[in-house]
Structure 1
């Protein structure tokens, strides 16, 4: 049974930090016909572990040049992303019920000029990884070696040729501050077992495949050393179509 304490916590008027256990309720505040539910829920655990334990970025550091950059390429169905941003204080919880409304900053695809903490506008398949490669190159050119660049993509995005070019370039370029997380929910049209990791490894990447719901396995994979090479984590979750 939901209590008054639940309501106050979800709407941000108490002092307790929102946690993983609050995410389902935060996502439940977002309604509408274009929710892309499976696309959203497939990313939930990966997003939480990244923002809770890995990424060096906070609302106060969202413009810091040495912050980590997180790029959500899998931008269709961003409910889990918005829920995590709200839990971590980047966006007000009060924005969530307006998800998808014409006057809401929380659109069906994230907009970097409207959503605090969003590094790119996304949703069109195949754009995020090439942008992440360019971001890593730009930071290197500026002499900024500390920031990590993280990009979250879906396995179906790997059907797009732009990603093949990005993968092929990043390995030989030695972009060791570049990290890709692939949500594998069996959506790709040209997939084969083990093919995602093999594709990256053939291009000189470090690759790990893990259970995308296991927080400890995700954390270990995210923090695994990969000197001189970009790193990819394939997070396997339940199939999109059940």
Structure 2
């Protein structure tokens, strides 16, 4: 199991996180045995990356200083060979976000791009109507566009939704399951990106590691939903299920 792999390696994950989800993301990583560090000052991110096992970049609450931090951390991670997971939250919502995505994709070599379909469209620069930081609406050949992005940037692309799609430009996996309650809890997608980053530590193949994490994450959602009656219960149940799956005690 991928979450058990993370628990055994206990990686330090450097998260440049959006402020909305930082607490949930930190608790989620702790639940699977990883250690989170939330550092986003441009003056220190390179040093923080140097002691981390993986870097998770999330642009949910974007500002000029965080862009500097993302670029500095990403370049430092590349120099060290540290895996980088990029979560381009709300990538197509504004011109500032679109420009930031272009710059980060150009200047930083990402290991995994974890996004929803609307964010994939923004990265690929194809028409799509973004709805804030949510996926939005449009018509997209998701698998083909994901493969094109993977090939163009040399990155594993993980497009999550009702059915997740993972591709390295050649191999493709589709992962079903999960719960309809998952998108009702802010931060489940952002946490997933950080968990993917943790799962890359000690893994030889980013594609298979990402697939394994997404499979476990769907299972976590199913367990949490089975134990929950309302959204608030689901959020707590999700953290509990992360721990249960990671230690191998989940039914």
TM category, shorter:
0.3 to 0.5
Larger C-alpha radius of gyration, 1 or 2?
A: 1
TM-score after normalising by structure 1: 0.38
TM-score after normalising by structure 2: 0.37
Q: Which structure's residues are more often strand, by fraction?
A: 2
Query: With CA pairs under 8 Å and 6+ residues apart, which has the higher RCO, 1 or 2?
Result: 2
